[in-house]
Amino acid sequence: MIQQHNLNHSKEANNVDDSIIDASDSMIYLTGVMIISVGSTIYAVYEDFSHFLDPRYFSPATLLIVVGILVFIIAFFGCCGALRESTCMVLVFAVSLSVVLIMELSAATAAYALQDTVKDLLEEKINHTMHEYDKNTEIKSAVNFMQSRLRCCGYVDMSNWYDIEFTKENDMGIPNSCCDLLGKDDNNKTICNNPYVIGCMSRLSIIVHRSALYIGTGAVAIALIQLTGIVFACMLGRAIRRQKTERERRKWELRESIVNGYQPLGKTDPLTTFPVVYMQSQDYPLKGNTNW
């Protein structure tokens, strides 16, 4: 009965451990996917405007991608530790997850810190690329892409193009990418209809600010989920340690029961062995006695 109770208790403990393993791994893998998704999305947006952004703006997004990959490796490491019932590996898993959490918060902090200098850096970069408009085909394509995609013109407004020497593309002396609609006059010259009046610096700064907001809120939300994963890992470590202790206790009890219950043949306990006394009677005389 006691053995059956211990067996049921062991099965219940294993079921609890399996539940903790499944919940923790699923949660950590999910956060890894979320981190990589956020980092990749922000990086892709920045890549489209890489000619106008300082390389420092790519750091938070790159850090998130690296963190997401590390999360997958750490989750696999923690799963192996749980399956092998290694308290040390589970502890390393929890510590590594804590380090990753700190890295995520660092990425969020860096993204917010870069917002203070975004306008000055954007003005400098956009102004420099605009002066290279007719000198570099790649830069020309990048400027046209930015202006048509963001529906902007110049870094403050379209008047910034008046001070730049380049091949005029229409009657207004601005690139065709600054125009919402293009037409032709009687002399077959290009006419710019509805030019964009907003500068690209303000448009790009909005993108950077929103990206920083997404990185910050995403990192904090994911960090809270990972904090739950760290708690689960600590619970798993305690469960494994408790299960190992219980297993060792059962082994000790079994060994003690075998040792104490073992009795060599031909040797009896004098305290529990009673002498046998044979008495003779008239019906059954003792062997060798002829007096009866």
Burial class (CB in 10 A: 0-12, 13-18, 19+), 154: buried
pTM for the model stands at: 0.66
Rounded to whole angstroms, the Cα distance separating 68 from 38 reads 10
Per DSSP, the three-state class of 179 is strand
**Span of 30-39, 43-52, 85-94 with lowest mean pLDDT:** 85-94
pLDDT digits (tens, 9 = 90+) for 110-156: 877 877 778 788 888 888 888 888 888 899 999 999 999 999 998 88
pLDDT for 145 equals 92
pLDDT tens for 218-257 read 888 888 877 877 787 777 777 777 777 777 778 787 777 7
Closest CA to 261 of 253, 271, 273: 253
